[in-house]
Amino acid sequence: MNDRDDNDLASSLSAYLKGYSTYVRTAQPRPQGRFPVTSARHRRLLSSAVAVLVAAVIGVPLGVALLLHSGGTRSAVGVVQGPAEVSDLHMFSPTSGWAWGGGSDILHTTVGVQQWTIVPPPVGRFNVIEVAWVDALSARILASSGSTQNVGTYQLVGWSTDDGGATWTPGQSFTALDETVQSIYSATALDFVDRTHGWFFDTQVGTEGSPIFLFRTIDGGMHWSQVETTPARGTAAPGALPVSCAKYGMAFADSTTGWVAGGCVDGGPFFEVSHDGGATWRPQPLDCGTGCAVNAPQFTSPLDGDLVAANGTPLLFATTDGGRTWTQRAEPPATFVHFINADDGFALGLTGNNSSAVVWTTRDGGRSWQEASRTAGSGASATGPASDIDEIDFVNASLGWATPVDISSEPPNNVATPNTAPFTFWQTHDAGATWSLVTPTFLRGSTVDSGVVQGTLEAVGGAAPGTPRPLKGSITLRDSDGTVFTATAGSDGVFLVKVPIGTYAITGRSPLYDSGKADCPSSGPVTVTVGATIRVVVACSEK
Amino acid sequence: MIHGQSAPDAAEFEELLAAERGHLFALAFSILGDAGYAEDAVQETAAAAWRGWATRTDPERTRAWLMAIGVHQALHRRRWLTRSFSALMRNAERAQIDQHLEADGRYIDLHRAYGRLSRQQRAVVSLHYMSGFTLTECAELMGCSAGAAASHLSRALSRLRKELQHE
C-alpha cells in the first residue's frame, strides 16, 4: 500500500469516525436494572456523591460499633479498607453470604452484611473473571491468565472453597477461548447447581453468529471438560447449539437440565434446552412473540423458576415443573427480577424522566406487582436508595439489600483520583418500603498462597541400571502462565523450593548429564496446593 | 455545598461536563461500539470525575483529565458488559447503529474491519483520527507509553489495510 493509499485510509477513517459523533439514539431501552441514562444525569451523579457522603458520615461509626460487638471472624487479622465497589451480593441467611469486591477480593460473612472478611483466592497474576456462590460456605470461581480484554486463547483455573474462603483449592487449568471473531461483547457465565456440578459458558453477545464454548465439571471445578462448541460461522454439529442468534446466558436447574437463552435478528426467541448436562441441545418453544429476546432462567428450587424476556416490553415466564413448561405471568415492571421462592419476588428498575429507583414486590409468583418504594432521582435522601442501584438481593420476603452501582472504577495511572469513599449497602426490613444505610467493615482473612516442591535430581538407567544416582544441578519449574521458578539440587540431588500455588512443569539439568545440555523431566506436571509439600523425582535417563 | 466543595465548584463541573459530554460519548461509542454502553461509560466517567474533582492535580488540564477518565472507563469495561441485561433490548438499536456508521454503504467494509480491532486499537485510532490528538497525547489519555500507543496505532492501521484489501 503506498502513501496515497495511506492518505485515503486516514481520510476514510476520519469521515467514518464522524459517524460516532453524529449518532442520535432513537431506541431507548426500557427501565431495567442497568438504568438508562437520561437528561438528569448531572443531578443523578451529584446525588450519588451525596449518598456516598452520607454513608461516610453516618455509616463508619456504625460499622465500627458493630465490629466491636461482633466477636470477630475465624481468620481475620485486622480491619482494612474495603473495596470501593461490591457486586454479586448474595446472602444465604440473614447472617451468611458472599459478595465480590472486584479483582480477587472475595468477600464472605457469617455475621451479616455489616462485616465482611476478605478471603482472596491466591490466584497470583490470574484475574478472577467469574464467581459462583454455591451455599453459605462454598464458592467456586474462575481465574484467567488473560487480560480483561479479548483476543485469543487463554488459560482458566477454577478455584473452590468449602470453608467460607479460609482455604482455596485450585483445579486443573484448561484452555477456554479461541475466538475466531474478535468482539468486546464477551458474555460469560459460571453456574453451579451443587458443590460438584457446574458449567462455564463463554460466548460473544454482540455478534449474531458468535462462537459458543460450554465447559462442565462434575468434581467441583477440579477438572473441566468442553461439552459444547458452536463455531462462529458455518454449520454446527448435530445436537449442538445453532450458529446465528445472540446468546445472553446459560442456567442449569439440576445436574442434567439447563438452558441457553438469547435472541435472533429474524425475530424469534433463542431458547435451547439440554437434558444431558449440556452435551446436546434442542429448541424449546416459548410463546413470546416476534422480536423476542430471552434472558437465562433463574431457579429457586429444582421445580420453580422464572425467566425474563423482552419483545419491546418485559415479559415474565414461570415454571413449576422444572422447566418442562413455561407460563407467562403479568408484565413485570422491570427486567431485573429476583425471586426467592415460587411466590415471593422483587423487581428493580427506574421510572419517570428523573430516573427514580423503584422496587416492586410480588407475593403471587409474578401474577401481580406492587410498588414498594421509590426515591427521587435528585437530592438523595436517607429514606431510600439513590437511583444508582446495581443489584438487589433478598433473603426472605422482608429482608433485603440494594447494592449501589460501581461509580468508582480505578482511574488510569496518570490521573490522580483518590478512591477513599467507603462502600455502602442499602438495607430494608420491610420488603423495600423503607431503607437504611449500612457501611460495612472489612477484615482481611489470613491465607497462605504457596506450597513447597521437594525432590531429587537423579540419573537412572544406563549400562548398569540399579539404584538411581543423585545429580547436582539446576531445577526449573514453569507454571501454566510461563512464569519460571528455579532451584538448585546439591550433590545429594535434593532440592526444595517454595512456589505460589499452581501447576508446574518441572525439568532439571546437571553438568554430569550430557554436559548440562539436555533437560531431564519429572514424571508429569505437579499441582501445588495451599501449604502442601509436593515430592517429585526429576530423572535423567542414561542410555 | 456538596462533599466539601463549593457551589461554584459544582457549577464549574457541570459546565465542563455539559461541554464535553458529546465528545466523551463519541469517544466511548467508538471504542465500545454500543451507544447504550457508551452512555453508561459517560455516566461512570462523570461520577468518577466528580469524586476526584476537588483533588485533581492540574486544574489547567481538566479537560485532558476528564478525557483520560473517559478513555479508561471505555477501555476497562468488562463486567458491566457481561452482567448487563440491557443487551436484551438492543438488537434493534444495533442495526440502527450499523446503518448509521456505514453511511449509506460508503463505509461498510471499514465499519466491519474497525469492529474487529482490539479495544486499545480502536481507542488510539479514535483519539488520533476522530479527536485529533497526537500520539503522545493519545498515550497520556490511554495511560500507556507513547511507544505502546504507536504500536497500537501501527497494528490497527496494518490490520485495517489487510482487512480492506481482502474485503
Q: Please check whether residue B135 lies inside any domain of the structure.
A: yes
Q: How confident is the prediction for chain B on average, in pLDDT?
A: 76
What is the C-alpha to C-alpha distance for residues A449 and B101, in angstroms, rounded to an integer?
A: 49
- Write out the residue range of the structural domain in which residue B124 sits: 102-167
Judgement on whether residues B148 and B77 belong to the same structural domain of the protein: no
Judgement on whether residues B51 and B109 belong to the same structural domain of the protein: no
Q: Which fold has domain A450-542?
A: Immunoglobulin-like (2.60.40)
Q: Rounded to the nearest 10 degrees, what angle do helices B146-166 and B108-115 cross at?
A: 130
CATH assignment at residue B64: 1.10.1740.10
Contact A20 B101 (CB under 8 A): yes
Is the sign of the CA dihedral B97, B99, B105, B111 positive or negative? Answer: positive
pLDDT higher than threshold 80 for residue B135: yes
DSSP B76-141: T--HHHHH-SGGGG-HHHHHHHHHHHTTTTTTHHHHHHHHTS-HHHHHHHIIIIIS---HHHHHHH
Distance in Å, alpha carbon of B121 to nearest chain A alpha carbon: 12
Which pLDDT belongs to residue B62? 86
> Among partner residues A30, A45, A409, which is closest to B76 by beta-carbon distance?
A409
Contact A16 B76 (CB under 8 A): no
Judgement on whether residues B142 and B83 belong to the same structural domain of the protein: no
Cell matching residue A530: 495451599
Judgement on whether residues B47 and B77 belong to the same structural domain of the protein: yes
A141 closest CA partner among A87, A83, A200, A82: A200
Which pLDDT belongs to residue B113? 84
For a pLDDT cut of 90, what percent of chain B falls above it? 5
Judgement on whether residues B74 and B119 belong to the same structural domain of the protein: no
Judgement on whether residues B55 and B113 belong to the same structural domain of the protein: no
Chain B residues close to A18, C-beta within 8 Å: 130
Residue A340, exposed/middle/buried by CB under 10 A (0-12, 13-18, 19+)? Answer: middle
Cell matching residue A484: 519460571
* CB neighbour list of residue A114: distance below 8 Å, 6 or more residues apart: A62, A63, A66, A67, A70, A438, A440, A441
Q: Please check whether residue B94 lies inside any domain of the structure.
A: no
Chain B residues close to A181, C-beta within 8 Å: 116
What length is written for chain B?
A: 167
Judgement on whether residues B65 and B4 belong to the same structural domain of the protein: yes
Q: Please check whether residue B96 lies inside any domain of the structure.
A: no
Neighbouring CB atoms inside 10 A of B5's CB total 15
B108 interface with A at CB cutoff 8 Å? no
Q: Please check whether residue B7 lies inside any domain of the structure.
A: yes
Distance in Å, alpha carbon of A37 to nearest chain B alpha carbon: 6
A344 closest CA partner among A360, A324, A326, A325: A360
Cell matching residue A536: 517429585
If one counts the domains in chain B, the total is 2
Q: Please check whether residue B109 lies inside any domain of the structure.
A: yes
The residue that leads in pLDDT, A266 or B55, is B55
Give the residues of chain A that fall short of pLDDT 70.
1-5, 25-79, 84-85, 146-154, 176-188, 204-211, 246, 265-267, 291, 312, 349-357, 374-390, 404-422, 445-451, 464-465, 481, 498, 530-531
Judgement on whether residues B53 and B1 belong to the same structural domain of the protein: yes
Tens digit of each residue's pLDDT (9 = 90 or more) over A353-389? 434 567 889 999 999 999 887 653 333 333 445 445 6
Cell matching residue A153: 486463547
Instruction: Report yes or no: A12 and B107 within 8 Å, Cβ to Cβ.
Output: yes
Judgement on whether residues B79 and B126 belong to the same structural domain of the protein: no
In a mutational test of the B interface, the residue from A1, A2, A12, A13 whose CB has the highest number of chain B CBs within 10 Å is A13
What is the C-alpha to C-alpha distance for residues A488 and A340, in angstroms, rounded to an integer?
A: 57
H-state helical runs in A263-331: none
Instruction: Report yes or no: A333 and A13 within 8 Å, Cβ to Cβ.
Output: no
A128 closest CA partner among A80, A211, A188, A68: A188
CB pairs < 8 Å spanning A and B: 228
The residue that leads in pLDDT, B28 or B86, is B28
* CB neighbour list of residue B147: distance below 8 Å, 6 or more residues apart: none
Judgement on whether residues B66 and B147 belong to the same structural domain of the protein: no
Q: Which of residues 126-165 of B touch A (CB under 8 A)?
A: 126, 129-130, 140, 142-143, 157, 160-161, 164-165
Which pLDDT belongs to residue B8? 60
- H or E element at residue B46: helix B35-52
Where a domain ends, among B33, B54, B89?
Answer: B89
Give the 3-state secondary structure of residue A15. helix
Q: Please check whether residue B97 lies inside any domain of the structure.
A: no
What are all long-range contacts of A487-492, with beta carbons under 8 Å and residues at least 24 apart? A487/A453, A489/A456, A489/A457, A489/A538, A492/A456
A334 closest CA partner among A321, A347, A343: A347
Q: Where are the domains of chain A?
A: 41-410+419-445, 450-542
Q: Which of residues 34-93 of B touch A (CB under 8 A)?
A: 34-36, 39-40, 42-44, 46-52, 55-57, 65, 68-69, 71-73, 76, 78-93
Strands A441-445 and A115-118: parallel
Where a domain ends, among B38, B55, B89?
Answer: B89
Where a domain ends, among B89, B117, B144?
Answer: B89
Judgement on whether residues B7 and B82 belong to the same structural domain of the protein: yes
Judgement on whether residues B123 and B162 belong to the same structural domain of the protein: yes
What is the C-alpha to C-alpha distance for residues A403 and A427, in angstroms, rounded to an integer?
A: 9
Q: Rounded to the nearest 10 degrees, what angle do helices B62-75 and B7-32 cross at?
A: 40
| A450-542 and A41-410+419-445 share a CATH fold | no
CATH 2.130.10.10 fits A41-410+419-445, yes or no: yes
Instruction: Report yes or no: A371 and A360 within 8 Å, Cβ to Cβ.
Output: yes
**Segment B41-55 mean pLDDT:** 77
What is the C-alpha to C-alpha distance for residues A513 and A472, in angstroms, rounded to an integer?
A: 10
Cell matching residue B123: 481507542
